[in-house]
Amino acid sequence: MPRKPPLNIAALSLPEIAKALAEQRMPPVEHWHPTHCGTSEMRIARDGTWFHQGSPIGRMAMVQLFSTILRREADGGYVLVTPAEKLDIEVEDAPFVAVEMKSEGAGEARRLAFRLNTDDVVVADVAHPIRMAHHGDEPRPYLHVRGSIGNGLEALIARSVYYELVDLALDAGGDPPALWSEGACFVMAPA
């Protein structure tokens, strides 16, 4: 099956991005509770690269498929789940990486859309917040992708995208620097 081209969010308006989001259908992994079967022998590296038995998975279509059956468990671990089986998967940081951003509007009317390394698109809002964390002296921004906030799946916002966010926040002039998206305000400095 041929792979569809990645969504070019820079060329789309936010209403067009919203339409594309509405067309994305995810399997109901939160309703599947099969018996744990072991390990998948898979790992998602901090940079978003998926590995199986130590080798990178080279087919994006496979990564995209596996990403739709990924779930975070209550204990903080990650699994690949189907109606028939549940397999552990190692995630070094976050399972996704936000690699591109589009901003429209300004102030409280701003909307921020992010393309993930799996070509999924997420618009930052109350249900998909941006949070800032510290890892040593390094600030790390995350975008909530799906599942329950606090124990769902997140995307690490790539450093270049984070710099774009900070530039927008500094231009907005708030103290602390912050950005709005879909009526929610997100501070761009670690707490």
At 2 the pLDDT is: 42
Q: What is the DSSP letter of 128?
A: B
Which of 74-78's residues contact partners 24+ apart within 8 Å by CB, and which partners?
A: 74/151, 76/151, 78/44
Structural domains in the chain, sorted by start = 25-91 (3.10.540.10), 96-187 (2.30.270.10)
Greatest extent of the chain over all pairs of C-alpha atoms, in Å: 52
Three-state SS at 48: coil
- Residue ranges of alpha helices (H) inside the chain are 14-23, 60-68, 159-172
Residue-wise pLDDT tens digits, 144-191: 999 888 889 999 999 999 999 999 999 988 888 999 999 999 998 766
pTM to 2 decimal places: 0.85
Rg over CA atoms, the chain: 17
Which pLDDT score, from 0 to 100, does residue 13 have? 62
Residues in the chain, pLDDT under 70: 1-25, 190-191
Number of residues written out for the chain? 191
Retrieve residue 145's tokens. 């992708």
Token pair 């059956």: residue: 69
